[in-house]
Amino acid sequence: MAAIDRGEMIVMAVAAGLVGAAGASHYTHMGPVVSFLACALALAGVAHVIGEATDQVGNHLSPSATGLIQSAVGSLPELFVCIFSLQAGLVAVVQASLIGSILANALLVLGLAFVVGGARHGVLHFENQTARMIASLLLLAVSALVLPTLAAELHLPAGAHEQQLAVVCAIVMLVVFGFLTRAMLTQGQRAVPSEAHARAHAWPLSVAIGVLVVCALGAVFVSEWFVDALEPAIDAVGISQTFAGLVIVAIAGNAIENVVGIRLAAEGKADLAISVVLTSALQVAVVIVPVLVLYAYVSGGAPFTLVVPPILAVALFLSVLVVTVVTVDGEADMVDGAALIGLYVIIATIFWWG
């Protein structure tokens, strides 16, 4: 532990304290709202430490390998929240939180990155080929989420086989992820550059892995407490399950780890910022969604399909389309960022009433 400096120890101690407070609020029955807020803060703390430990791993591995580890480990809090929510039968919350994660990354976080970076550096210039590639893959993945909804709404024969269609889409997305993984390992062209992960003060690899294991265990417990408090808190506050999943659960699950994207934009590293933010949105669409579909199918619990409320499907598709248009020319400024944030606020407001 001597390899971890004082500031990092303080951050870990704060995260551990938040986890302890969440456990205390859960087991002493302090009330659903208090427990929900405590668990949300604990999830954010765990996600932050996971992000730091993953970045430290980047000091020892290639950018490609680090990108894969980040994809696998960085979304653990969100994945566990969704699994426990499925077990509790909160399918609408899971669907909304997954779509909310994509929207939060692609609109809110990327928009904030453009606003902060544009305020400090004016027009941000970035290599548009990488951004276009990620946006194209994201558009493909989003299509796999939107098309089953259209099949159901248009009463096509496939609409009567929602679960089987979801399994097929999940397998297709995992196959695409397999090709992406192979390209990352063999070509390195789709990896987030090492500058996004490297830290001047490096931990030994064993320490970084140990911190990741401890955080993964903590994420399991906090996620279960979070879901236990979720439905009572929703009822107590009087908000809809869709809004809770789309905004609150999505932000609590993964927004903290993407603060790095805003930091990189503030430093003028637009290429890295876009890679980090859009890759986070992509991993939700091509990894977490298919894993949950297959988990629900194999476990025999509440069926989890890709048929969502049509307005959610339209909002998701239009959002990714707007992001593609904004990034295709290789430059962005504060106005582009404000437009992305504005679209996110409009979508969130639509679901405030349910």
Secondary-structure breakdown of the chain: helix, strand, coil percentages, each rounded to the nearest 5: 80, 0, 20
Domain that holds residue 339: 6-350
Residue 47 lies in a domain: yes
Over the stretch 105-123, which tens digit does the pLDDT of each residue have? 889 889 999 999 999 888 8
Residues of the chain with pLDDT > 70, as a percent, come to: 86
Is 37 part of any domain? yes
pTM of the full predicted structure?
Answer: 0.81
Q: How far apart are CA 313 and CA 315, in angstroms?
A: 5
What is the model's pLDDT at position 344?
A: 93
Residue 1 lies in a domain: no
Is residue 27, in this structure, part of any structural domain at all? Answer: yes
Q: What are 125-148's pLDDT values in tens digits? A: 887 777 777 778 888 888 888 888
CA–CA gap between residue 321 and residue 127 (Å, rounded): 19
> Is 235 inside any structural domain?
yes
Any domain includes 30: yes
150: domain CATH number is: 1.20.1420.30
- What is the total count of domains within the chain? 1
- Residues 118 and 277: their CA atoms lie apart, in Å, by 16
pLDDT tens digit string along 220-257? 888 889 888 888 888 888 887 788 888 887 777 665 55
Residue type at position 145: L
Give tens-digit pLDDT for 28-59: 888 888 998 898 888 888 877 877 787 777 67
Nearest 5°: phi and psi at 223?
Answer: -60, -40
Nearest alpha-carbon partner for 264 in 255, 273, 256: 273
